[in-house]
Amino acid sequence: MKAGEGTRVGGLLRSFRLPKEVGAINRQRQAVGPRGRAGSPQPERSASEARAVGVGPRGIDRGSRIGIALLTIIAVAGLGASFLAPYSPRAQDRENFHHPPSLPSTGCSVRWLVADENGAIHLFGFQGCRVHLLGTDALGRDILSRVLYGARVSATAAIFGVLLTVTLGALVGAAAAIGGGIWDRWLMRTTELFMALPALYLILAIRNVFPDDLAPSWTALILVGSLALVGWCGVSRLVRAHVLSLRERDFATSAVAAGAGRIRLFFRHIFPNTLPLLLLQVGLTLPYFLLGEATLSFLGLGVQEPNSSWGNMLASAASNYTR
């Protein structure tokens, strides 16, 4: 080797800094993610970026947190109505019809954890006067107490209706996707038949079969059943499409190759990946049942007077204030 060539080779070897380049590559991979390719995990948002886009520390955006908080308040108020309400929803103040909202005046004191004439314990009450924080209706009944008791009917109907709808839709959709063949075609044609029926007329027909003077619990059960009868179809179609897509994933193919049957494949591998979709459907279906119960009660097909419901309270207010 000539002297000039040796000098050039030595310069190339000195400029070849392998450890430095490897360290830079490793730092780049750690910043991008463990796989370092398209689809790999991205760096987490900083606290300022998360606040800017409205994402909380656990990945729940601000709107979702507000919605969850409101639904929780409605459920707690409805389930604890007998304790939170200051009066019975049927108790009448015959001296204060259409009384505006009022606050405790001079000589009137607020008492906590008081018992009424029937022995029921209430969170708060008033001594020496009758105070109506939201006023009274046309019959002198406390509106706040009736709103709380009406939330019990609406919350109970919504919770049981959502559970029935999502469960029935998930079972039908999963059975159609896992069964396949004629089983899939028969279930989907039945689902499309229910979707073709006019929902409002079907609910009205089901309600008119039963008498009007039913107990509130039976009325709520009929409302839940009629609303769920026409509400499960969309859930079943979504679940079927989702399960069919999951069956084509690599983890499902590997499970089948390892000898997993259809039942084990669904409950061990596919069902856990379907839970986020079902939780999403719960959040989307809950307002449907709240509005459905209020609408039917407003039309006179739900909970009847003197029992309180948000729907019949709206109907009573509309009839009193539009004359």
| Residue 298 domain-assigned (yes or no) | yes
The pTM score is 0.70
| Residue 11 domain-assigned (yes or no) | no
- The domain spanning residue 297 has which CATH number? 1.10.3720.10
Angstrom CA distances, 280 to 172, 264, 286, stand at 18, 24, 10
- Which of residues 136, 152, 172 is at a domain's end? 136
187, 178 Cβ separation under 8 angstroms: no
| Residue 1 domain-assigned (yes or no) | no
Q: Are residues 163 and 308 in the same domain?
A: yes
Q: What is the pLDDT of residue 166?
A: 92
Q: Are residues 79 and 163 in the same domain?
A: no
Q: Are residues 118 and 247 in the same domain?
A: no
CA 262 remoteness from chain centre = 30
Extended strands (E) in the chain: 109-115, 121-127
Q: Are residues 190 and 277 in the same domain?
A: yes
Token pair 């049942």: residue: 289
Q: Are residues 163 and 238 in the same domain?
A: yes
Q: Are residues 89 and 190 in the same domain?
A: no
Q: Are residues 235 and 307 in the same domain?
A: yes
Q: What is the pLDDT of residue 130?
A: 83
Average pLDDT value for the chain: 77
> Encoding tokens for residue 20?
């430095």
Q: Are residues 238 and 316 in the same domain?
A: yes
Q: What is the pLDDT of residue 239?
A: 92
| Residue 184 domain-assigned (yes or no) | yes
Q: Are residues 154 and 289 in the same domain?
A: yes
57, 50 Cβ separation under 8 angstroms: yes
313, 146 Cβ separation under 8 angstroms: yes
142, 86 Cβ separation under 8 angstroms: yes
Q: For the chain, which ranges sit under pLDDT 70?
A: 1-61, 321-323
Nearest residue to 280 (alpha-carbon basis) of 70, 64, 73:
64
The total of structural domains in the chain comes to: 2
Structural domain span for residue 75 = 63-136
Q: Are residues 172 and 191 in the same domain?
A: yes
Q: Are residues 150 and 132 in the same domain?
A: no
| Residue 207 domain-assigned (yes or no) | yes
Q: What is the pLDDT of residue 323?
A: 56
Q: Are residues 92 and 211 in the same domain?
A: no
